[in-house]
Amino acid sequence: MLISLPLALWVFNILLINEIPDMAADAQAGKRTLPVRLGRRAAAVIYAATNALALAAVAFAVAEDLLPPLAIAVPLLLAMAALYVAAKLVGAESARLVLERTIKATLAVHTFGGLWLTAFVAAS
């Protein structure tokens, strides 16, 4: 279960970030998504925190000898990339291209992180 936690958190971020481009339309339609309720800045903080939790879960799995120490490498890099994405979310009020790139980056975090962890689980 612990090893699946980072994947679940990365999926949560996919869902979260996909709601951000539609915030204005969702608010007008009465949809109360998390970004609509809390705002873009809070959504960016949640996004960064979720990635930090994913990294912490991998670090805990390494500390408990469920994964080898090398398993932390890619999630650490992905967490740093997620901080960059979170910063872009705050500053990109209307830049559709920036939002598209942050969505693609979020998908990449999930894909690379998932493949990385799967490789370590399969090897052990």
What is the domain partition of the chain in residue ranges? 5-123
Quick check: helix, strand or coil at residue 21? Answer: coil
pLDDT at 94 over 70: no
pLDDT in tens, 45-71: 999 999 999 999 999 999 999 999 999
pTM: 0.88
For residue 2, report the phi and psi dihedrals to the nearest 5 degrees: -60, -40
Please state, as a whole number, how many other Cβ atoms lie within 10 Å of the Cβ of residue 76: 13
The 3-class SS string of 97-110 reads: HHHHHHHHHHHHHH
Classified by CATH at the fold level, domain 5-123 comes out as Four Helix Bundle (Hemerythrin (Met), subunit A) (1.20.120)
Cα–Cα distances in angstroms (integers) from residue 1 to residues 4, 5, 58, 75, 115, in the given order: 5, 7, 11, 17, 17
- The whole-number pLDDT of residue 93 equals 59
